[in-house]
Structure 1
Amino acid sequence: MNFVQYHTQDRIAYITLNRPGKRNALNEQVVKELKQAFGKAQNDESAKVIVLRATGKVFCAGADLEYLQTLQNNTYEQNLADSSNLKELFEIIYTHPKVVIAQIHGHAIAGGAGLATVCDFSFAVPDAQFGYTEVKIGFIPAIVSVFLLRKIGEGRAKELLLSGDLISAQKALEYGLINEIVPNENLENRVKEFALHLCKSNSAMSMQTTKNMIAQVPTMPISEALSFAAQQNALARQTADCKKGIASFLEKKPLEW
């Protein structure tokens, strides 16, 4: 892979955007490589949690506008295929069986803010800015809107998507877009600390099933959602992880996953 790096350490898979000269802007190749990296992480038995991060000064500046310009003479079908590529990436991250943590060391704009939106947790430095700026260039924040509405609600989503204005990390925290603000010099260690906490404290099966439920339940009628939840509850009781966890608790034995 040319623009994305992948390695594992301490049960953490690190997926790193590495296109600093273009502020880690997204084009067809970058999106393709990100999809490949997340697919690799899914099948990587040495990785329990994923950290998405980037090199350079900017986390991700969104779509590569020079690349978008080359697509303007494409047919609708060609453009649909290209936009479906990004849609698939966001869906892969949002529905990934492993927890995904964004390590945001710089600005996350447009598609970059989209990446932060679909991750399960986001940690950012104080001077990072966030924004869905598509409307300012005559474009639309189409795909990310599906996830942002779920994450922060219609009122906040309208404010961000229709204004296209940048917001500070502090406001992003208040809106629920990110989880924590961390000083620049502590960001890497704090993200690693949190990832290791998840690895050691929680069952991988339990996190996967819970994340899947969070993704599916909001679209269901209440009776269907409750039936689905009851089924998942019953299935979980039969798993090796549940049996191990309950036995350990009752026997007062320390448990590390």
Structure 2
Amino acid sequence: MGTIETFINNSIATITFYHPSSNSFPSSLLQNLTDEIYSVSKNDDVAIIVLKSAGNGAFCAGASFDELLAVSNYEEGGKFFSGFANVINAMRKSPKLIIGRIHGKAVGGGVGLASACDYSFATQKSEIKLSEIAIGIGPFVIEPAVSRKIGKIAMSEMTLNPTAWKTSKWAFEKGLFSEVFETIEELDIRLEEYTNELSSYNKEALLEMKKVLWEDTNHWDSLLYERAAISGRLVLSDFTKNALEKFKK
């Protein structure tokens, strides 16, 4: 079912998620990540949060295909897609700045997680793709987070070309990635340097900056769940069921 692990050192909380299927997310793991973000956010000893995934392969492959295939009714579908809504809202509401370590490829919901980070580090292998429309649904839940970072035009470019990977250079130029490095080793050196410096700043100033960064997003409390309901309905279509079977094979 995957794992969520948190390590706190020098006021920096590092949350690491893992799943054997390319760090994809079944609903239980999404809920665990949401709970962990809320828990760490309440810790007064923590100044900033680093969000990362395990391994050297994909950063995040998005939603679990096995669980998507198992959805049998509208309620189940809406509940599953609400998992990503919960995580993004937890990241948005957290009083801590969240730094993303996007070491590898990100698909679908993985792009949503990267977009919900306040600052992010990536490598040249950190390609991104929004493949949802190719399987009969769409990146409805994560769209507000993605569009907020890269703009509606760039988001639509990704969405309407669902089989094409966008390079880390493209993501950097559009504003999704803050810094890009050739290797994971170089990324981690810079990440440690950056987080140590950032965590030493006035916590109250960091909190106020977080509020500024997420101004005008309070309506996401309802918007993301309305979007989840759309995906929950579409995932029941024959088109999507057949497409998921093909992708799985």
Return the TM-score normalized by structure 2. 0.82
Deviation at 1:218, TM superposition (A): 7.2
Alignment root-mean-square deviation, CA: 1.8
Partner of 2:244: none
Partner of 2:144: 146
Greater Rg by CA: 1
Look up the SS of the partner of 1:216 in the other structure.
Answer: coil
- How is 1:206-245 mapped onto 2 (pairs within 5 angstroms)? 206-217=205-216
Partners of 2:155 and 2:197 lie apart in 1 by 31
Structure 2: which 5+ runs fail to align?
Answer: 220-249
Give % identity: 27
Look up the SS of the partner of 1:15 in the other structure.
Answer: strand
- How is 1:170-209 mapped onto 2 (pairs within 5 angstroms)? 170-184=169-183, 185-200=185-200, 202-209=201-208
Look up the SS of the partner of 2:34 in the other structure.
Answer: helix
- How is 1:72-87 mapped onto 2 (pairs within 5 angstroms)? 73-74=72-73, 76-87=74-85
Contact 2:47 2:203 in 1 (8 A): yes
More helix by share: 1
Partners of 1:34 and 1:59 lie apart in 2 by 15
Return the TM-score normalized by structure 1. 0.79
State yes or no: 1:46 paired with 2:40: no
Deviation at 1:219, TM superposition (A): 8.1
Contact 1:3 1:30 in 2 (8 A): yes
Deviation at 1:217, TM superposition (A): 4.1
Contact 2:31 2:86 in 1 (8 A): no
Deviation at 1:183, TM superposition (A): 2.9
Partner of 1:112: 110
The size of the alignment, in residue pairs, is 216
Partners of 2:205 and 2:75 lie apart in 1 by 40
Partners of 1:163 and 1:219 lie apart in 2 by 30
Deviations 1:19-42 (A, max 9, x none): 2x2111011111011012101211
Structure 1: which 5+ runs fail to align?
Answer: 221-257
Deviation at 1:210, TM superposition (A): 2.2
Partners of 1:35 and 1:217 lie apart in 2 by 22
